[in-house]
Chains A and B, each alone.
Chain A
Amino acid sequence: MNNVQIILSGESLDIGACVSWIMSPESGGIDIFIGTVRNATKGKAVLKLDFEAYEPMAISEMEKIAQQAFNQWPVQKVLIHHRTGTLQVGEVPVIIAVSAAHRDAAFETCRYIIDTLKQTVPIWKKEAFEDGEVWVAAHP
C-alpha cells in the first residue's frame, strides 16, 4: 500500500523525511508523535536505552495497527518508524505520523497508533542505569 509506510531500523530516524512523506495536497492536517529518550525513570538517571525487536512479527503487528487505523478513522496516510539498537538520551526511538482531511481524525489516530504499538508490537527496551540494566515492564 502506498498510503502506509512502516520501517524498523538500526539507523537514526529522519523526522524531516517522515514529514515530507506524510504530507499530501488532499490533507487538511498532519499529526506527528515523536518519542524521545528521557534522561531519567522514577528519579533515576538513565544512561542509554537498548531496543530489541522480533523483526518479522514487529513489522506485521505494525501493519495490523495501520490497517485498524484506516478501518476506524477517515485518514489518508499512516507512517510508523521504530528504532532498534542503542539510543542515547534525546535520540528518537519512534515516529508516528498521520495525515487526514480534518484534524480530529489525525489526532485520534496518532494517539491510537502509539498506544496500541506500546501494547502489542514485539519490541523491548532495556534501560541502563549507573548501577545496572533493567528490561522495562518485564517484572511486576
Chain B
Amino acid sequence: MKINVLAFGVAKEIFGSSSVSLELTNDATIYNLKYLLEQQYPRLKQLASYMVAVNNEYALPGDTIHERDEIAIIPPVSGG
C-alpha cells in the first residue's frame, strides 16, 4: 500500500518536503515505517528522539498502519 507521511519541524527539513510518499506492505507496523524512513533519511537517527502519530494520536512501535491513515513524524516538541 502507498502511504503519505507528514513531516513537521526539523523532520520537514530532513525530508526536504512537508510530506513524503512511501510503499509499505499491508501489515506494516510503525517499527517497519521507522526502519524504512531511517534507511532513506539517515539524518532521522541523529534526532534526540521522534514519535509517529497515526490519525492525530501518538502511536506505539507495534501498531499496524492502514491505508488512508494520516501518518505524521513528530520530532521532539518544543512549544510553550
Contact = CB atoms under 8 A, between A and B. Distances in A.
Q: A and B: real partners?
A: yes
Interface of A: 35, 51-54, 56-58, 60, 82, 93-94, 114, 117-126, 135-140
A94 B77 contact: no
Contact of B79 (A118, A135, A139, A140): A118
Contacts of A53: 8, 79
B5 interface: no
B21 interface: no
Given A53-B79, A117-B80, A139 B9 contact: no
Dominant SS among interface residues on chain B: loop
B28 interface: no
A123 B48 contact: no
Contacts of B76: 137-138
B22 interface: no
A93 B74 CA distance: 20
Interface in B24-75: 46-48, 53, 56-58, 72, 74-75
A7 B24 CA distance: 36
Contacts of A137: 48, 76-78
B6 A135 contact: no
Contact of A124 (B6, B9, B46): B9
